[in-house]
């Protein structure tokens, strides 16, 4: 009887703390998202990273660097390795995407028909590169509660697309670890409510002055045994990016 | 007997207008039938030839999973033995392995999605299909052109490229990675009878394509079996032409016996069953027309001969009184029907055969009746049709008509033969 | 006796009515006779003629031709009999329209299987005998009524019958032509001994009778030889 009483009491305390926490944070589901975005993004950034593509039968590894001008909706991705793909470069301006094919010495603009194809063989699509949606502005946010995700107690939020938002997902479930405050998992559900993709963020490091996860693993539900793993080597947040980067000339000659 | 033939014939001639109208009705029906069969007989082989010749061949071999989902994962990577089996088979006239994938054709600012088909130029030329459609000035990978590309005319137009222009082919390889060929010069432009084909196809050397999409130096294999060892054995389908189309099913079965488990052999009618059905429907249609014509014949003869018999009731009575036997009267009336039928048959045959021969020479030009887009649906038809006289259909039709004539004449002939002399004589005055 | 009629009765019945056309007719006709069966319409003379000619069957009684009971014969046998032993002349529309005069005469000979040359000669002979020389190849619609009847006579004689039956042969002819026809028949009867049985209600025909059977309401009321 006494043990039961203690247990009940402990439960009550935990619940009220959680409730208090939630109550304190409930109206701040949006704040959580905002805070996360502010952590992970900046108006401009220079990134160096590797991307491992894993399948049951084989795997590949890419090294690349990119400049991202979020405010100006421009970005450039330059593949450094391996040799086969070296100097393949992508330039995005607004909703348009160009690709430089070094062996052919040609630039092609990626037509709508190609947009949903895999980007460089990864679990990402070309479309993902030009996607403009903002987790903050294009979604409504709902805090579900706190759960243990990937070993860390995390805020679990449901993000629902707003009316008219340029978004393909039916719902995103975002899990952000409470302490340290970093995203740990995002699950992407299609409009039928089925889980389509899942991204796990791990390996929290100090990069560019921030504590962020540097390993991002993307898995697609349909493709068992496949995964795309990104390792961030370096990020410079809020850098000045020279104008010449986002140009056709640089696209053709990215060095 | 001769007197009855004379009586029958003269009776037919007695009422020229009525007899000729009946004979004419039969003739019109027969003419229509002859012409229709001739059209079918001239057109069917053409339709089948077009259908199979533009791309497919008589038989196609591919992985059944590829049939369901035409992705590179379902390609055949060990096709060497298949090609050997085909080379050794005496019923096979020619064959051509293809490696088909989908990608982008890019020229300057323009790009368009297309099927990129890798072929072996010599083998595909042997197949004698697409190379027939290469337009003036181009070649189908002859000589130095071997490593260029051959493109559908509409596709070339859409990207604004012509002979000699260098074009980029962009696709995904087997590892889903970016892959591209080129820029490669256009060495030939194809204009077939199939608009969809011309708008979405580009040909390139198969081995070159296979090396680009089945080999990726950036890949590390965790499963050694996944690596392709014989690049020449990589294909998505093999198009086959047989020597004798009548043995088609048998050759298919023979080949299937020799195939590895991942290869399925199909005839063109299995690949495009809707096409076979369309042909079959036409045949059914033909028989319906035949039935209608026979009904016209039957009605016409019955009407005319019955009327004639009714008019001559008294005459039959007198003939009976004179000692003519019942069967002799029967014969006379039957002969009248036969003569009418023959008259119709002769006129109809002359007109029908004549029409067929004339159009067989000059061709029936449908171009005016169908516009280009509709022709796309019917891509199996050339715009000019050449009817061919099929003797067997002609003879069968004539025989059927005569049989109908004879059968239908039984009724009035019996009626005439059964007339009581007295009643008959009393019938008129 | 060439012809014997014994107690022949003929009843015509429809769904509602029975009509007795002949009551117990008994008579005999010898070879070479020239008989006229006279009587008003409905007296049964055509019926009697038809029965004698095997074109109809008596309801009761029997008919003997050359001592042979014709009532027993099958249709086929009757046809054969008609072909070889009897000749018919009807009131009108005697001829087959699509055949010429000569061909009409030849018809009965063809039925008997006689060779072409013989047929043709005989036909021409007969047509000459009835006074139609030169008109052999004319079709019936190219001949007058009287000429058509003459052709009928020629045809009736073609198979050298034992008996010629004529039913109202003059009915469609004018007096003068009728007379000519009667005279022709009498001449043939006299010269060639052909038996004639003629039915008629025409006084002119009756005048020519060598034997007269009068019929009234299906009964023989008189049997005379007006000499």
pLDDT band at C104 (very low <50, low <70, confident <90, very high): very high
Distance CA C98, CA C139 (A): 7
CB contact under 8 A, B3 and C98: no
How large is the average pLDDT for residues B277-298? 83
Q: Which residues of A touch B (CB under 8 A)?
A: 55-62, 82-85, 88, 99, 101, 103-104, 106, 108-109, 111, 113-114, 117-118, 120-121
pLDDT in tens, B132-147: 778 878 888 888 888 8
* Cβ-based neighbour number of residue B257 at 10 Å: 9
**Environment class of B87 (CB within 10 Å of its CB; exposed 0-12, middle 13-18, buried 19+):** exposed
Distance CA A155, CA A136 (A): 16
CB contact under 8 A, C93 and B315: yes
Distance CA A125, CA A121 (A): 9
Q: Are B159 and B112 in contact (CB under 8 A)?
A: yes
pLDDT in tens, C154-164: 999 888 888 99
pLDDT band at B186 (very low <50, low <70, confident <90, very high): very high
Q: What is the pLDDT of residue B378?
A: 46
Q: What is the pLDDT of residue B136?
A: 77
Looking at the DSSP bridge assignments, the partners of residue A171 are A189
Q: How would you classify residue C66: left for phi > 0, otherwise alpha for psi between -120 and 50, otherwise beta?
A: left
Backbone angles phi, psi at C4, to 5 degrees: -130, 125
Task: Calculate the average pLDDT of chain B.
Answer: 85
Q: What is the pLDDT of residue B262?
A: 85
Which member of B325, B422, B429 has the closest CB to residue C50? B422
Q: Tell which of B168, B218, B222, B224 to mutate to test the A interface (max A CBs under 10 Å).
A: B218
For residue B278, pLDDT beyond 80? no
CB contact under 8 A, B318 and C94: yes
How large is the average pLDDT for residues C157-174? 88
Q: What is the pLDDT of residue A18?
A: 59
SS3 state at A212 = strand
Q: Which residues of B touch A104 (CB under 8 A)?
A: 168, 180, 182-183
Considering only residues C172 and A143, tell me which one the structure prediction assigns the higher pLDDT: A143
Q: Are B218 and A85 in contact (CB under 8 A)?
A: yes
* Cβ-based neighbour number of residue A18 at 10 Å: 13
pLDDT in tens, B13-25: 888 898 899 889 8
pLDDT band at B363 (very low <50, low <70, confident <90, very high): confident
Q: Which tokens in the block code for residue A10?
A: 């402990």
How large is the average pLDDT for residues B416-421? 81
Q: Which residues of B touch C (CB under 8 A)?
A: 2-3, 6-7, 10-11, 14, 312, 314-315, 318-326, 328, 421-422, 425, 428-429
**B177 to chain A: nearest residue by CA?**
A121
CB contact under 8 A, A121 and B177: yes
Distance CA C184, CA C190 (A): 10
Q: Provide the pairing of β-strand A227-237 with B59-62.
A: unpaired
Written as one string, the DSSP assignment of C116-144 is: HHHHHHHHHHHHHHTT-TT-TT--GGGS-
Neighbouring chains to B with at least 3 Cβ pairs closer than 8 Å: A, C
Q: What value does the CA radius of gyration of chain A take, rounded to a whole number of Å?
A: 21
The predicted complex's ipTM stands at 0.86
CB contact under 8 A, B182 and A59: no
Q: How far is C106 from chain B (nearest CA, A)?
A: 10
Q: Are A79 and A86 in contact (CB under 8 A)?
A: yes
Q: Which residues of B touch C55 (CB under 8 A)?
A: 320-321, 421-422, 425
Q: Which tokens in the block code for residue B91?
A: 């019923």
Between chain A and chain B, how many beta carbons pairs sit less than 8 Å apart? Answer: 77
Which member of A60, A108, A111 has the closest CB to residue B175? A60
Q: Are A200 and A150 in contact (CB under 8 A)?
A: yes
Distance CA A227, CA A198 (A): 10
Considering only residues A130 and B381, tell me which one the structure prediction assigns the higher pLDDT: A130
Considering only residues A119 and C15, tell me which one the structure prediction assigns the higher pLDDT: A119
For residue B54, pLDDT beyond 80? no
**Could you tell me how far CA B166 lies from the centroid of its own chain?**
38
Q: Which residues of C touch B7 (CB under 8 A)?
A: 96, 98-99
Q: Do B and C have ≥3 inter-chain CB pairs under 8 A?
A: yes
Which member of B323, B326, B428 has the closest CB to residue C93? B428
Q: Are B293 and B29 in contact (CB under 8 A)?
A: yes
CB contact under 8 A, B217 and A83: yes
Q: Which tokens in the block code for residue B40?
A: 């079918």
Q: What is the pLDDT of residue A77?
A: 93
For residue B128, pLDDT beyond 90? no
CA distances for C160 relative to C85, C92, C105, C133, C194, angstroms: 7, 22, 12, 20, 8
Distance CA A127, CA B164 (A): 34
For residue B376, pLDDT beyond 50? no
Residue of C79, C39, C2, C30 lying closest to C216 (CA atoms) = C39
Q: Any idea which of B72-76, B386-390, C77-81 has the lowest mean pLDDT? A: B386-390
How large is the average pLDDT for residues B157-182? 92
How large is the average pLDDT for residues B185-194? 86
Q: Which residues of C touch B315 (CB under 8 A)?
A: 93, 96-97
Q: Which residues of C touch B324 (CB under 8 A)?
A: 79, 111
pLDDT in tens, A86-145: 999 999 998 889 999 999 999 999 988 888 888 998 888 888 888 867 888 889 999 998
Q: Which tokens in the block code for residue A64?
A: 């690349």
Residue listed under structure tokens 């050759």: B251
Which run of H or of E encompasses B331? helix B326-362
Q: Which residues of chain A have pLDDT under 70?
A: 1-3, 6-8, 10-27, 132
pLDDT band at B114 (very low <50, low <70, confident <90, very high): very high
Q: What is the pLDDT of residue C41?
A: 81
Q: What is the pLDDT of residue B366?
A: 66
Residue listed under structure tokens 């001559």: B312
For residue B165, pLDDT beyond 90? yes
For residue B375, pLDDT beyond 50? no
For residue B367, pLDDT beyond 80? no
Q: Are B184 and B141 in contact (CB under 8 A)?
A: no
Q: What is the pLDDT of residue A183?
A: 93
B168 inside 8 A of chain A by CB: yes
Which stretches of B258-328 are assigned E, i.e. beta strand? 264-267
Distance CA B155, CA B102 (A): 14
Q: Which residues of C touch B (CB under 8 A)?
A: 50, 53, 55-56, 75-76, 79-84, 86, 88, 90-99, 103, 106-108, 110-111, 155
- pLDDT over 70 for what percent of chain C? 99
pLDDT in tens, B334-349: 999 999 889 999 999 9
Q: Do A and C have ≥3 inter-chain CB pairs under 8 A?
A: no
**Could you tell me how far CA B93 lies from the centroid of its own chain?**
20
């Amino acid at each position: 009887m006494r043990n039961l009483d203690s247990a009940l009491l402990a439960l009550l305390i935990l619940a009220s703390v959680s409730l208090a926490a939630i109550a304190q944070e409930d109206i701040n589901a949006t704040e959580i998202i905002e805070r996360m975005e502010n952590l992970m993004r900046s108006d401009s950034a220079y990134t160096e990273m590797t991307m491992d593509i894993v399948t049951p039968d084989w795997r590949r590894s890419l090294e690349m660097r990119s400049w991202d001008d979020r405010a100006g909706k421009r970005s450039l991705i330059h593949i450094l390795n391996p040799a086969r793909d070296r100097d393949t470069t992508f330039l995005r301006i607004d909703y348009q995407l160009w690709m430089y094919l070094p062996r052919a010495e040609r630039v092609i603009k990626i037509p709508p028909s190609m947009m949903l194809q895999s980007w460089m063989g990864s679990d990402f699509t070309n479309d993902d590169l030009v996607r403009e949606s903002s987790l903050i502005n294009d979604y409504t946010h709902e805090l579900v509660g706190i759960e243990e995700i990937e070993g860390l107690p995390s805020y679990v939020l449901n993000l629902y697309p707003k009316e008219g938002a340029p978004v393909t997902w039916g719902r995103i479930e975002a899990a952000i670890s409470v302490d340290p405050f970093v995203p740990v998992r995002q699950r992407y559900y299609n409009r039928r409510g089925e889980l389509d993709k899942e991204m796990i963020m791990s390996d929290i490091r100090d990069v560019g002055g921030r504590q962020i996860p540097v390993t991002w693993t993307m898995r697609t539900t349909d493709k068992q045994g496949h995964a795309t793993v990104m390792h961030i080597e370096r990020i410079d947040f809020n850098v000045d990016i020279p104008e010449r980067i986002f140009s056709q000339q640089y696209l053709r000659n990215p060095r | 007997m001769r007197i009855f033939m004379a009586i029958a014939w003269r009776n037919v001639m007695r009422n020229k207008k009525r007899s000729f109208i009946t004979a004419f009705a039969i003739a019109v029906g027969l003419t229509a039938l002859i012409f229709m069969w001739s059209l079918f007989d001239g057109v069917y082989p053409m339709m089948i030839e077009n259908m199979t010749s533009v791309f497919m061949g008589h038989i196609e071999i591919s992985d059944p999973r590829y049939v369901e989902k035409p992705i590179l994962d379902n390609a055949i990577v060990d096709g060497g033995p298949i090609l050997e089996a085909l080379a050794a088979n005496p019923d096979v006239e020619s064959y051509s392995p293809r490696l088909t994938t989908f990608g982008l054709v890019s020229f300057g600012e323009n790009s368009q999605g297309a099927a990129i088909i890798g072929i072996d130029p010599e083998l595909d030329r042997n197949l004698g299909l697409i190379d027939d459609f290469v337009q003036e000035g181009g070649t189908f990978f002859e000589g130095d052109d071997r490593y260029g590309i051959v493109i559908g005319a509409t596709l070339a137009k859409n990207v604004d490229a012509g002979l000699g222009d260098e074009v980029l082919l962009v696709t995904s390889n087997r590892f889903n990675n970016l892959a591209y060929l080129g820029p490669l010069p256009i060495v030939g432009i194809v204009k077939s009878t199939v608009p969809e084909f011309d708008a979405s196809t580009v040909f390139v050397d198969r081995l070159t394509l296979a090396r680009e999409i089945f080999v990726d130096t950036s890949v590390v294999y965790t499963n050694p079996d996944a690596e392709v060892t014989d690049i020449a054995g990589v294909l998505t389908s093999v198009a086959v032409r047989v020597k004798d189309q009548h043995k088609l099913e048998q050759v298919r079965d023979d080949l299937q016996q020799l195939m590895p488990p991942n290869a399925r052999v199909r005839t063109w009618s299995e690949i495009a069953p809707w096409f076979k059905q369309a042909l079959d429907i036409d045949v059914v249609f033909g028989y319906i027309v035949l039935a209608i014509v026979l009904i016209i014949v039957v009605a016409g003869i019955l009407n005319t001969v019955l009327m004639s018999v009714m008019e001559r009731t008294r005459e039959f009575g007198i003939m009976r009184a004179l000692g003519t036997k019942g069967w002799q009267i029967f014969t006379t009336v039957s002969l009248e029907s036969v003569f009418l039928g023959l008259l119709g048959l002769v006129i109809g045959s002359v007109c029908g055969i004549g029409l067929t021969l004339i159009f067989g020479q000059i061709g029936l030009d449908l171009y005016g009746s169908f516009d280009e887009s509709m022709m796309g649906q019917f891509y199996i038809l050339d715009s000019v049709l050449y009817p061919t006289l099929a003797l067997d259909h002609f003879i069968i039709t004539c025989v059927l008509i005569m049989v109908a004539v004879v059968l239908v004449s039984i009724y009035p002939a019996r009626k005439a033969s059964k007339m009581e002399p007295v009643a008959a004589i009393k019938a008129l005055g | 006796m060439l012809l014997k009629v014994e107690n022949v009765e003929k009843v015509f019945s429809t769904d509602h009515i029975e009509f007795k056309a002949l009551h117990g007719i008994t008579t005999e006709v010898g070879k070479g006779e020239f008989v006229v069966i006279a009587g008003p319409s409905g007296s049964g003379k055509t019926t009697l003629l038809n029965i004698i000619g095997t074109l109809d069957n008596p309801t009761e009684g029997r008919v003997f031709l050359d001592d042979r009971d014709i009532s027993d014969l099958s249709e086929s046998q009757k046809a054969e009999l008609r072909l070889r032993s009897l000749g018919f002349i009807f009131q009108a529309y005697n001829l087959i329209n699509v055949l010429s005069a000569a061909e009409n005469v030849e018809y009965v000979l063809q039925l008997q299987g006689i060779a072409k040359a013989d047929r043709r000669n005989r036909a021409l002979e007969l047509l000459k005998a009835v006074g139609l020389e030169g008109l052999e190849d004319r079709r019936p619609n190219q001949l007058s009524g009287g000429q058509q009847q003459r052709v009928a006579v020629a045809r009736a004689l073609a198979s050298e019958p034992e008996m010629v039956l004529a039913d109202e042969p003059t009915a469609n002819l004018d007096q003068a032509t009728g007379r000519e026809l009667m005279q022709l028949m009498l001449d043939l009867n006299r010269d060639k001994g052909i038996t004639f049985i003629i039915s008629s209600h025409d006084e002119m025909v009756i005048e020519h009778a060598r034997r007269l059977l009068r019929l009234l309401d299906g009964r023989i009321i008189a049997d005379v030889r007006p000499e």
